[in-house]
Amino acid sequence: MKPASPGVAVLALLALAACQQPATSPTLAIAAAEATRPASAGPPIAMPSLAPDGGAIAHLKPAERPPISSDEAGLWLLSDKYEDQLRTSGSMVRDPALNDYVKGVVCRLAGAYCGDIRVYLVRRPGMNASMVPNGTMAVWTGLLLRARNEAQLATILAHEIGHYLRRHGVQAMRDARDKSAAALFFSVGFGVVGVPAAGDLVALGLVGSMYAFSRDNEREADDIGIRIMARAGYDPREAAKVWANLIAEVKNDEESKDRAIFFATHPEREERLETLAALAESLLPAVAEPRLGRAEHEAAIGPHRLGFLIDELQHRRYARLEPLLGMLAADGFRTGEVRYAEGEMYRLRGKEGDDAKALAAYEAAEVSGGAPAELYRSAGLVRLRQGDRAKAVSAFARYLELLPDATDREMIRMMMAQPTS
């Protein structure tokens, strides 16, 4: 992960870190979004009331930019610079259909703020999304892979919109300034967004204190987010499922430092699940036809899933990948591709017993159909490792039969022709 420039570090910090606002009632200018609700929807969904909060920061209004003389304006300028870098990044996903899909979900959620939020899809494994103060939203493809339907995707996007509306960025900046921790901004080498990059931290003690505050921000963003998604007609019960799935994934990764950081910066997992589940039940009566958007999500994400899985495989985080692949296989979409990826995971990991698991997954992928021809090349490699040359040659031959113009055909033919060693 590249060390960020100071400006990016500031923004990333703000994307992650908390405000020291007490958990006063959040205030939202989301009334406009209410106007976009379908007529068939149920009674209006109440946002948390705007309670007197002793000078708490006001909500952002649609199309609002901070006054040029304010400290917040400086933050927005940094945000603009970050956005410029993001726009030209080599990790941007340019596919118009996928961009349109995610942007569409954001607009459905954001209502009158749609034009204020610019969505950038970042080709990167891992579940992450972020928002910086000027409305630049970065969404990792690893999140698209993990959201099992549109409502789950909306959960995270709405959470990020909550950070934006509540101006958590400027709150964090003022908080840090008040704590004389400005130097921290320039000494923290966060990556651009999100939790996985936090491994680049220095000054852990100070950062730790920031994390303690961030839980309030995260709670607030959770609270706002689930209401936003319910207003947009999504099934709010999916919110808790997103986090439950992530917890299942991270729990399997016992040695991951991300695990500790993730759970330090976000509300306690049980508390979060319980809170979201209770909120969902209270909101559900107001959602006329709770929408999952499974088919729409699959239509948009399905063609890209295998590529996203290969990205995950290249990062070799097998402990997290294993439960994820299990969940995706259970969903029943493009199972051949998912089982192929499962086979690849075992082949690449190469622990004792993994060869047999890989072959079983490849066979399941073959039965399901839709797996790429590379399945046979991979099966051949496993057979070679097992010393079963005849089956290896047979698998390689099948690969070349399906992909006669494969760019590695000369190497495959040479491997097929090699005498048994």
Partner 1 sequence: MARFLILAFAAALLAGCVEGYKLVSPERTRVVNAFSVVPQTSWNRSIHGRVESWTLDGPGLQELRFVAGLDNGDRLFPTRGFAEPAKEAPAFRDTMTPIEIAEFVAASYSQAGAHEFRTRNLRPAKFGPDDGFRFDFSFATEGGLEWDGFAVGIVRSKRLYLAQFSAIRLHFFERDREAVERLVGTIRWET
Residues in contact with partner 1 by the rule CB under 8 A: 1-3, 85, 88-92, 123, 189, 199-200, 311, 313-317, 348, 350, 377, 381, 384-385, 407-408, 410-411, 414-415
CA pair distance 172, 315, nearest whole angstrom:
32
Closest distance to partner 1 from the beta carbon of 315 (Å):
6
Q: Of 50 and 416, which CB lies nearer to partner 1 in the complex structure?
A: 416
φ, ψ dihedrals at 267, nearest 5°: -55, 155
Q: Of 107 and 381, which CB lies nearer to partner 1 in the complex structure?
A: 381
DSSP calls for 228-279: HHHHTTB-TTHHHHHHHHHHHHHHT-TT-HHHHHHHHHS--HHHHHHHHHHH
Q: Of 151 and 309, which CB lies nearer to partner 1 in the complex structure?
A: 309
Closest distance to partner 1 from the beta carbon of 325 (Å):
17
CA pair distance 137, 129, nearest whole angstrom:
7
Residue ranges in 17-149 assigned as alpha helix (H): 31-35, 71-87, 96-110, 141-146
Q: Of 49 and 88, which CB lies nearer to partner 1 in the complex structure?
A: 88
Joined tokens for residue 400: 């070349």
Query: Among residues 52, 22, 71, 9, which one has the least CA distance to residue 213?
Result: 22
373 in Cβ contact with 306 (< 8 Å) = no
The Cα angle at residue 87 between residues 200 and 19, in degrees rounded to 5: 50
Half-sphere exposure of 55 (CA within 13 A, CB side): 1
Q: Of 62 and 199, which CB lies nearer to partner 1 in the complex structure?
A: 199
Q: What is the spatial order of strands in the sheet that 118-122 belongs to? A: 118-122, 136-140, 129-131
Q: Of 3 and 285, which CB lies nearer to partner 1 in the complex structure?
A: 3
363 in Cβ contact with 382 (< 8 Å) = no
Closest distance to partner 1 from the beta carbon of 19 (Å):
29
Q: Of 92 and 203, which CB lies nearer to partner 1 in the complex structure?
A: 92
Which 3 state secondary structure label does DSSP give 118?
A: strand
Closest distance to partner 1 from the beta carbon of 336 (Å):
21
Closest distance to partner 1 from the beta carbon of 209 (Å):
23
Secondary structure element (H or E) that encloses residue 129, with its range = strand 129-131
231 in Cβ contact with 165 (< 8 Å) = no
Q: Of 107 and 416, which CB lies nearer to partner 1 in the complex structure?
A: 416
CA pair distance 416, 393, nearest whole angstrom:
5
Cα dihedral 383, 388, 389, 394 sign: negative
Closest distance to partner 1 from the beta carbon of 120 (Å):
12
Q: Of 53 and 200, which CB lies nearer to partner 1 in the complex structure?
A: 200
Q: How far is CA 367 from CA 245, 341, 397, in A?
A: 27, 14, 19
Helices (H) and strands (E) in the chain, counts: 19, 3
Closest distance to partner 1 from the beta carbon of 36 (Å):
35
Closest distance to partner 1 from the beta carbon of 91 (Å):
5
Closest distance to partner 1 from the beta carbon of 415 (Å):
7
Closest distance to partner 1 from the beta carbon of 176 (Å):
23
Q: Of 280 and 306, which CB lies nearer to partner 1 in the complex structure?
A: 306
